[in-house]
Amino acid sequence: MRILFVASLHHPEALQAAIAATPPGQPPPLFPPSMGQHLWDKALRKRGHITDVFYRNIPFFGGVHSLRHTQGITPGKLIAALASRVPPEVNPDYRLRNRRLIEQAREFAPDVLWLVGDNSVIVPDTLAAIKRETGCKLVYSTGVSPIVFARPIEKRAARLYDLVLVNDYYHGIQWLELGASRMECLPISACDPDFHHPYDLSPEERAAYACDVGFVGTLVPDNLYRRRVQALEALRDFDLGIWSVHEVPPSLRPFVRGRALGESMLRVLSAAKITINTHGDFMRYGGNMRTFEAAGVGVFQIADDLPGTCQWFTPGETIVTYSDEDDLQTKVAYYLAHDAEREALARRARDHAYAHHTYDQRMARVEELVSSLQLMAG
């Protein structure tokens, strides 16, 4: 299949570094290693598919910069808020970007237009025109709730989506209610054994990263990550290390060790005895990226007790779940005191992830789903 991704580019400097490091004769990556789409693309190419990408967040004239989430009001947030009041259809720059996407789709002739969530640029008329002219199927993928995060143009386009891929089953139901033709609760996150594995650390890295309890991720804004913040606040009496590329609430700043993305994130996880994986408040079913990444790295994981977590891993065998902060404290203390149990469970989790939750397996399932859509259309 010919698959054209429509996505935002985050961490552009990481992509440039990855392109520069590409061996001669190999195709350069479309996404930086810090983005999950990089691993989707790798798995799809391995299966023989041809891929390309349209970066919707790059202005028609100009470049794109990395974002850093903060809790308070900033000039950038005010500018973004004002810009969001202008309908995308009349925004001159957005109109040029939509025209450029149509031109690229005509030239590439995709079988699948894969629209990644958090789209504020590509309007429904553009998607309809591409489907009409190329006959492609439109796949939309998202890891967040349409009620909380989806932009108005994403919701208006829902009836054009031939297939919606969601991490969280409840989000999928919401997309069906908005008019999507079909949804699949298929976590678009997974692990890649070539990338997600235990890392051998230098003495300097171990000194910088080692901790009893580690966390890597986003903690602001408070209305989206309050449960996560509360969980970490309950662990302040432990040897706690926090890494985030974004702002961190004042209560947790004393535990911040730095930033971590891509391989550096996996090295940080490799140094922790326990990693905490509390989902954002907008995920009530479960299935975020860290669920599978931490397992692949082979670090012992404690996650909040959600249906999806218990569907993809077995509590007490390949993962440990907690019900509230008191339960979390008790389990952290127990597993820190029982090294053999903790290490055995982490090994089983890694074996399970490699057997059932790789990006190769995820993309094989996407291939089956798209093929069934094409057969139905035929």
What CATH number is given to the structural domain containing 332? 3.40.50.2000
Cα–Cα distance, 310 to 304 (Å, whole number): 10
pLDDT of 83 higher than 80: no
Same domain, 363 and 333: no
CA distance 67 to 120: 16
Rounded to whole angstroms, the Cα distance separating 77 from 58 reads 18
Residue 222 lies in a domain: yes
Residue 67: pLDDT band (50, 70, 90) is very low
- Which residues, in sequence order, are CB contacts of 306 under 8 Å at separation 6+? 279, 283, 284, 285, 286, 321
Name the strand (E) or helix (H) holding 170: helix 169-177
Q: In terms of domains, do 143 and 20 share one?
A: yes
Residue 195, in any domain of the structure: no
| Percent of the chain surpassing pLDDT 70 | 93
Give the chain's domain count: 2
Question: Exposed, middle or buried by CB within 10 Å (0-12, 13-18, 19+), for 182?
Answer: middle
**Nearest Cα residue to 5 out of 77, 93, 103, 112:** 112
Do 350 and 364 lie in a common domain? no
Where residue 378 falls among pLDDT bands split at 50, 70, 90?
A: low
Q: Give me the chain's average pLDDT, please.
A: 93
Q: What is the pTM of this model?
A: 0.90
Domain assignment of residue 198, yes or no: no
- Measured between alpha carbons, how far is 32 from 248 in angstroms, rounded to an integer? 24
Using CA atoms, how far apart are residues 180 and 183, in angstroms rounded to an integer?
7
Would you say residue 146 lies in a domain? yes
Asked whether residue 77 carries a pLDDT value surpassing 80, the answer given is: no
Residue 78 lies in a domain: yes
Query: Residues 213, 336: one domain?
Result: yes
User: Does residue 96 sit within a domain?
Assistant: yes
Whether residue 278 is found in the same domain as residue 233: yes
In angstroms, what CA-CA distances link 322 with 257, 302, 328, 335, 346? 25, 7, 5, 13, 16
365 plus 344 within the same structural domain: no
* Tokens representing residue 150 in the block: 């989806």
The predicted pLDDT at position 64 comes to 60
Per-residue model confidence (pLDDT) at position 72: 60
Q: Does one domain contain both 313 and 247? A: yes
User: Is 259 in the same domain as 278?
Assistant: yes
C-alpha neighbours within 13 Å on the C-beta side of residue 288: 20
Per the domain annotation, does 27 fall within a domain? yes
Considering the domain architecture, whether residues 62 and 186 belong to the same structural domain is answered as yes
176 with 47, same domain: the answer is: yes
Tokens 């391995």 found at: 46
- Expressed as residue numbers, the domain containing 248 is 203-356
Q: Is residue 115 in some structural domain?
A: yes
For 91-142, what is each residue's pLDDT tens digit?
999 999 999 999 999 999 999 999 999 999 999 999 999 999 999 999 999 9
Nearest to 11 by CA among 30, 28, 35: 35
What is each CA distance from 294 to 33, 239, 301, 341, in whole angstroms? Answer: 16, 19, 7, 17
- Domain check: are 144 and 47 in the same one? yes
Q: Which residues contact 207 (CB under 8 A, 6 or more apart)?
A: none
CB 124, CB 357: distance < 8 Å: no
Structure token digits, residue 163: 């297939």
φ/ψ (deg, to 5) at 291: -55, -45
Q: How confident is the model over 262-300, as pLDDT tens digits?
A: 899 999 999 999 999 999 999 999 989 999 999 999 999
Which pLDDT tens digit goes with each residue over 308-367? 999 999 999 999 999 999 999 999 999 999 999 999 999 999 999 999 999 999 999 999
Q: DSSP letter string over 16-68?
A: HHHHHTSPTTSPPPSS-TTSHHHHHHHHHHHTT-EEEEEETTS-SSS------
Is residue 68 pLDDT above 80, yes or no?
no
In terms of domains, do 291 and 349 share one? yes
